[in-house]
Amino acid sequence: MPDPAQILREAYEQVRRDYGAAIGQRRADLVTPALVLDLGAVQRNIDHMASELKQMGAAVIRPHYKAHKNPDIARRQVAAGAGGLSMATVWEAVVLAAAGFDDLFVVNTVAHPAKLRALAGLARDHRVLVAVDEAGNAADLSAAAVAAGSTLGIMIEVDTGMDRCGVDSAADGLALARQVTGLPGLRLEGITGYEGHCSLTRDNDLRHERQRLAMTFFTGVAALLEADGIPCPIRSAGGIATWNWTAAFPGITEIQAGTYVVMDNFHGVMVPGFEHSLTVQATVISRQSGKVIVDAGSKSVADPADVTIAGHDLPVFRFDEEHGMFDAAGGSPLRVGDPVALVPGYSPSTVNWYDAYHVVQDGVVADIWPVIPRGPGHHGLA
């Protein structure tokens, strides 16, 4: 396997070679489409979350790396008090370990043999947690850990209503916990659950009620484990759409919210108090047929139906692959050649389509940061 630290170094070198000419430019002058990150807004979002959690005096945050896929942002989150990091893939964990981070939680079940080996190898020198929802998978993780001479932290995944991975009942959770505690190379750390189904409910009161039901069931699983004499020190949940309620819910020890640091329109309508630090810089390329058409389409910004133009109240007409079309039948001052900033409908997928961030301070590009590891691939890390 290639040296992950070398892959990380090369990622920074590559994006600065490819996009470094933009450093010192105004964001309005960037070649478009370009992924732009406002560093001041990023830090304010991080500080706001840290302040809110400190005042609540309840759960800590283990922010989700998938929202931004960049070690520089993660470093700022940890400096502000994050209790470790969560991530979607083994490869994200490998990159973060190479960047000097520890206490890494892969908040997904992992099954491929190459991924099991990589995860177990990482655990020789780092605290690594991973989700599990069945005994056979736990046995495979145990075998990988024993072969690597390491110990993996196990988090039993509980399906709180997402209808995805996770045990479906408290009894199943208890049975799995008993099995895990008997396997070599594994250390049961607690339970994890994601109430992501609640984010599909825009109505605040109904979303809160669904969150309450999800966390009541979730913490009940922990209570059953502890009643059976199995410690459950970590109860990890909490996506961004329900972060404040879940953080304050009795028995929850950490939340996994991630999008707060960049924010997007899908979550922004439900979660006030965070700035849109992430935008896609685009250029108006046509004003035909009562529309404002820009050079960033569905290949450049995710969840097009929720995309907005910063500072311009124009509804989406349609997005094609390379065209973003906004209804300007009522008029608009925008003209061909004008620079615009698009606020993504959904940030994590938008980030995943780009090689690099153009990091701006006071409207000027100060640095270029990689999106790493971009996409689902292993980037030679297998």
Both 136 and 244 in one domain: the answer is yes
Both 248 and 334 in one domain: the answer is no
Both 206 and 246 in one domain: the answer is yes
Both 215 and 327 in one domain: the answer is no
**Per the structure, how many domains does the chain have?**
2
Triad 244, 249, 253: Cα angle to 5°: 90
Triad 171, 175, 177: Cα angle to 5°: 115
Both 256 and 110 in one domain: the answer is yes
The residue to which tokens 């209503």 are assigned: 161
Q: Is residue 45 part of a domain?
A: no
91, 112 Cβ separation under 8 angstroms: no
Both 141 and 202 in one domain: the answer is yes
Both 194 and 226 in one domain: the answer is yes
Both 29 and 107 in one domain: the answer is no
User: Which residues, at least 6 apart from 345, have a Cβ–Cβ distance to it below 8 Å?
Assistant: 264, 265, 266, 301, 302, 303, 304, 305, 306, 307
Both 296 and 162 in one domain: the answer is no
Q: In which domain, by residue range, is 135 found?
A: 103-261
DSSP 8: H
CATH of the domain at 242: 3.20.20.10
Domain boundary among 261, 282, 310: 261
358, 346 Cβ separation under 8 angstroms: no
Both 108 and 255 in one domain: the answer is yes
pLDDT per position as a tens digit, 79-108 = 999 999 999 999 999 999 999 999 999 999
Instruction: Count the neighbouring beta carbons within 10 Å of the beta carbon of residue 220.
Output: 14
pTM: 0.96
Both 113 and 253 in one domain: the answer is yes
Q: Please report, for residues 172, 234, 344, the alpha-carbon distance to residue 349 in angstroms, rounded to integers and kept in the order given.
A: 33, 29, 9
Both 122 and 217 in one domain: the answer is yes
pLDDT per position as a tens digit, 23-51 = 999 999 999 999 999 999 999 999 999 99
Tokens of 353: 């389509």
CATH of the domain at 295: 2.40.37.20
Q: Please report, for residues 37, 295, 314, 334, 344, the alpha-carbon distance to residue 340 in angstroms, rounded to integers and kept in the order given.
A: 14, 10, 12, 9, 13
Q: Is residue 61 part of a domain?
A: no
* Rounded Cα–Cα distance for residues 177 and 307 (Å): 43
Q: Is residue 72 part of a domain?
A: no
Domain boundary among 261, 291, 309: 261
Domain boundary among 241, 261, 281: 261
* Rounded Cα–Cα distance for residues 345 and 349 (Å): 9
Could you list the beta-strand ranges (E) of 83-151.
85-87, 104-109, 128-132
pLDDT per position as a tens digit, 276-324 = 999 999 999 999 999 999 999 999 999 999 999 999 999 999 999 999 9
Q: Is residue 75 part of a domain?
A: no
Q: Which amino acid is at 188?
A: L
**For residue 2, what pLDDT is reported?**
75
Is there a cis peptide before residue 71, judged by omega within 30 degrees of 0?
Answer: no
Q: Is residue 51 part of a domain?
A: no
Q: Is residue 43 part of a domain?
A: no
Q: Is residue 149 part of a domain?
A: yes
Residue ranges of the chain with per-residue pLDDT less than 70: 1
Q: Residue-wise over 56-77: b if at least 16 C-beta within 10 A, else e?
A: eebbbbbbbbbbbbbbbbbebb
Q: Is residue 74 part of a domain?
A: no
